[in-house]
């Protein structure tokens, strides 16, 4: 792999800390980046991802799709001089997991009528 094809990426977390930088080829998929983030996630941080599906990668204001390669996502930053590219990594639990946990947390509600006729 030629040296000029390699991209250096780092991932910014919500608290402002970074994971990386790491070097990737343009053929690497977004899913591979997410797996690396899960593996490198700081153990002392709460709210970490359980799997790669819990992470949203954002670059230049766009959420990157898992099946795209880094080369395909490169358009917004393709003209930048060589340097480290920062992508934002946001942990967002999948909707089905969040709904299941919410249902468990809610206590059963009972309907009580409080009508008063004067």
For residues 9 and 33, the answer to whether their CB atoms sit within 8 Å is yes
18-24 and 55-59 as β-strands: parallel, antiparallel, unpaired? unpaired
Rank 45-54, 79-88, 102-111 by mean pLDDT and report only the highest: 45-54
Span 30-55, mean pLDDT?
Answer: 86
At CA 55, angle to CA 50 and CA 57, rounded to 5?
A: 160
Copy the structure tokens of residue 54.
């819990």
Residues β-bridged to residue 25: none
Q: What is the separation of C-alpha 111 from the centre of its chain, rounded to a whole number of angstroms?
A: 40
pLDDT tens-digit readout, 54-88: 889 888 888 888 888 887 776 554 455 567 888 88
Q: How far apart are CA 60 and CA 79, in angstroms?
A: 13
Residues paired with 9 in a beta bridge: 22, 85
């Amino acid at each position: 792999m030629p040296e000029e094809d390699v991209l250096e990426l780092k991932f910014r977390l919500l608290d402002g800390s970074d994971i990386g930088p790491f070097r990737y080829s343009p053929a690497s998929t977004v899913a591979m980046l997410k797996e690396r983030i899960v593996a490198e996630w700081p153990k002392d941080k709460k709210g970490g991802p359980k799997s790669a599906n819990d992470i949203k990668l954002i670059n230049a204001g766009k959420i990157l799709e898992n099946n795209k390669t880094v080369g395909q996502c490169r358009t917004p930053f393709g003209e930048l001089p060589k340097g480290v590219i920062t992508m934002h990594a946001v942990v967002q639990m999948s909707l089905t997991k969040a709904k299941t946990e919410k249902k468990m947390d809610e206590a059963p509600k009972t309907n009580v009528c409080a009508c008063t006729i004067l």
